[in-house]
Amino acid sequence: MFQSTWPVIHAPEFDSFGVLTSTFPVVQSTPLVTLHDEKARQIAQSWVNTPWPEDTWDTDLHFSDNSARTLNWLLLVDALNFCFWSEKQLPRWRVKHGARWVDGYMALAAALSRAARNNIPLWNADYLQSISEDDLRAILHPDADPNIPEIPLFAQRLANAREVGAVLNESFSGEAVHLIDAAKNDAAQLAQLVAEHFPSFHDTANWRGATILFYKRAQIFAGDVVTAFPDAPWGKLVNADTLTAFADYKVPQILRRLGILSYKPQLERTLKRYELIPAGSEEEIAIRAGTIWAVEILRREIAKTIPAISATQIDHRLWNESQIPMPNDIPYHRTITMFY
């Protein structure tokens, strides 16, 4: 719940697709996660005059042929971008990218880029709709190391890849650029359309009878379109600054490290023991809702000095910092899910 010396915080009027509004009652009422807004204010003030990481698109890691069909490839990447963690003390799935090994999202992007550059038509909705298990397994194969496991939730990723092709064919003439046209080049509307049309992006939960919206990967797709295509007409989306934080497992971990979030002792013990937290449980919903509102509070404070700051920029900074482990970190929460 909020630990606040500020006036009661209300969801903003520009919350055009309901993520902030729907998660607000969770952070107001949950006893499981506490959001320390005074600490958030201190962190925000310390960041105002320090450099921000540049949110640029890694053209080495990501495939692009500078045409609209690359949007199909990008939608596929974001459809498969989830659940990369491994069990305690077990190796993570990873692939070779050039001379180095990469894991997590970078491994996914590298594997799908390598396939596209080898003319496997991951931009083609017909191919994706009927992609074989053998083909996708070969694309995501963890290279020549027998100790590296297969990517987690492979069957779900296969289903998601086929869904991308099927929905694009059924509703958007096989081209993701028509999604952007339907959204009228609005980032928030694009995220909502993706969540509504593609079941694997429909990231919601039930909290005490109310529907909670997260739309993590749908929002990532909208943000990726802006970052990946700054000079293309389909990349010039309006309202990108209304996207929220992308509620995953690494961002809440860094928010706890910074003292912005804290967990009830029982929940913290669960994380320290690497115990699974079920998808849709009160614990998972509380952590994700706390993440979204912690970033929103940071945004509001930073916006007093940097009016154009967005939640996605703050999320990007937090995610970058989370990649450097610290001795006082507790493990991130472990939930088996296709949504993050």
What is residue 56's predicted lDDT score, i.e. its pLDDT?
86
What is residue 10's predicted lDDT score, i.e. its pLDDT?
54
CA separation for the pair 221, 207 (Å, rounded):
25
Residue 62 lies in a domain: no
Residue 242 lies in a domain: yes
Residue 337 lies in a domain: yes
Indicate whether 74 and 45 sit together in one domain: no
Residue 161 lies in a domain: yes
DSSP state of 122: T
Domain that holds residue 80: 69-175
Q: Where a domain ends, among 129, 158, 175?
A: 175
Residue 229 lies in a domain: yes
Which single residue is written with the structure tokens 């029982």?
Answer: 266
Indicate whether 282 and 152 sit together in one domain: no
What is residue 7's predicted lDDT score, i.e. its pLDDT?
40
- The tens digit of pLDDT for each residue in 142-185 reads 887 788 899 999 999 999 999 999 999 999 999 999 999 999 99
Indicate whether 324 and 221 sit together in one domain: yes
Count of structural domains within the chain: 2
What is residue 1's predicted lDDT score, i.e. its pLDDT?
65
Contacts of range 5-9, beta carbons closer than 8 Å, 24 or more positions apart: 5/37, 5/38, 6/37, 9/37, 9/293, 9/297
Indicate whether 45 and 73 sit together in one domain: no
Indicate whether 84 and 48 sit together in one domain: no
Indicate whether 136 and 266 sit together in one domain: no
Indicate whether 157 and 211 sit together in one domain: no
Which residue out of 37, 203, 248, 315 is catalytically annotated? 248
Q: Where a domain ends, among 175, 210, 232?
A: 175
Q: Is the dihedral of CA 134, 136, 139, 145 positive or negative?
A: negative
Indicate whether 44 and 76 sit together in one domain: no
- Cβ burial, residue 141 (10 Å; 0-12/13-18/19+): middle
Indicate whether 329 and 217 sit together in one domain: yes
CA separation for the pair 187, 201 (Å, rounded):
15
Residue 143 lies in a domain: yes
Q: Provide, for the chain, the percentages of residues in helix, strand and coil under a 3-state DSSP scheme, each rounded to the nearest 5.
A: 50, 10, 45
b/e sequence 276-305, b meaning 16+ C-beta within 10 Å = ebeeeebbbbbbbbbbbbbbbbbbbbbeee
Q: Where a domain ends, among 160, 175, 190?
A: 175
Is 248 assigned a catalytic role?
yes
C-beta atoms surrounding 87 within 10 Å? 11
Counting as low any pLDDT under 70, the low residues of the chain are 1-14
Tokens read off for 189: 């509307």
Indicate whether 160 and 73 sit together in one domain: yes
Indicate whether 165 and 211 sit together in one domain: no
Residue 195 lies in a domain: no
